[in-house]
Each structure stands twice: as C-alpha cells, then as structure tokens.
Amino acid sequence: MTLLNPRQQEILDFVRGYHLDRSYMPSVREIQAACEISSTSVVDYNLRILEREGFVRRSPDISRGLELVGTEEKEPQIEIFQIPVLGSIAAGEPIPVPESEGWRSEGSETITLPPELATRNPEELFALRVKGYSMIDALITDGDIVVLTPTSQARNGDMIAAWLPLEETATLKRFFLEGDMVRLQPENKQMDPIMVPAGNVQVHGRVVGVIRRMN
C-alpha cells in the first residue's frame, strides 16, 4: 500500500475535488494557490511522485494535462433492470381483467426500474398501470405505474392487487381481513370500502413502489 506524505495527499484530494466539481482538471498554478505551495516546481515535484505511484497520469505538453487513475475516476456501475408492465388495474371501482389467471403472462411493454427498487429481487417484480383515483391519498393517481412483488398472502394494511374471481374483476386497494370478510379500503376519503367474502379475494401482488406519471 502506497503511503503519501501530507502534502501529496493534499494535492491529490484537491485534484479529485476540483475534477468532481468542474469535470476538468486544475492547472499547476491553481494547485499551487489552493494548497499554499511556495512554487510551481514544488507542485511539479509532487505530481511526479503521484504519477510514479499510479495516482495520476500527466501529459506535459497539454494544458491541464492531468488525469486521475484508479477507482476514483470511474463512474459507479449501476445495473439496469426492466420489468414487464402486465396490464392495468383499477384504483376505483373494480374493472374486468381479460386474463383471469392474473397478470403474470408475458407482456410486450416494459419499464426501467428505479435504482431504489432494484434491491428487491427485481427479476421477480412486475408492474401494473393504474386507472382511477381511489388511491390518491397514498399519492397514487391515474396513469401512475405500481411495482409489485408476486404474493398470495397479505397482512392488514398492505396495498395489494386483488382479484375477485366471482366478479372476474381486479382492483388496487389496501387489504384488511375482518372475520370472514375482507375490506378493500381505498385511499380516498370520498370513496367507500369494498366488502367481499374472504373466499372471493385472491391476492396476486403486493405494492412495493410507485413510478409516477410525468405530465
């Protein structure tokens, strides 16, 4: 492991910070002024050491001909995940869904998953497009896309994609089991909950994120 003296570390830190802020390198005189070094020859001497130790590369014939070497100059690699948008779901009154088997069929539309959601086993996730306004108090509105993890189980308060097989309809609501009934609760004070027998509710997914519609 290379040990730099305080002066060399100060120069390296300044160069890194300068490049991060401006996307180009400082001049020798800027390094001299910022680090309060007595002369440009002292800067040059320390830059030669930083180059020898593999921290920078220099091109003496080019103005600001300094290049950072190593992990500090590399952009972090973010893996991009795309998940299928498998249809629409009502955030209002339940609406019929053509495929009563649920939404796990192959969809032609995909959407790029935000990085904060890509930590949740993204290969298992799917998305549904929201229709209606029953979940606006949860900041989910018409045209938004909800990201779900497939599950057949729900806890009280979970926001779920519910399939009602007798009616052959689907809806996006919060789930509450109350005896032998399920209350499908909207997040809109102007709308009433939907009460259905527990045997007539199938949970097909739990919401783990929302991708907002951009107007």
| Alpha helices (H) in the chain, listed in sequence order | 6-22, 28-34, 40-52
Residues 212 and 215: their CA atoms lie apart, in Å, by 9
Number of continuous H segments (helices) and E segments (strands) in the chain: 3, 12
Q: Are 166 and 199 in contact (CB under 8 A)?
A: no
CA–CA dist 23, 109 (Å, integer): 37
> Across-strand partners of 159?
174
- Catalytic residue check, 131: no
Query: What separation in angstroms does the CA of 64 have from each of 24, 60, 88, 155?
Result: 8, 8, 55, 60
Catalytic site residue from 59, 88, 100, 134: 134
Collapsing DSSP states into helix, strand and coil, what is residue 172?
Answer: strand
The span from the CA of 44 to the CA of 38, in Å, is 12
Catalytic residue among 23, 88, 108, 173: 173
- Active site residue ranges: 134, 173
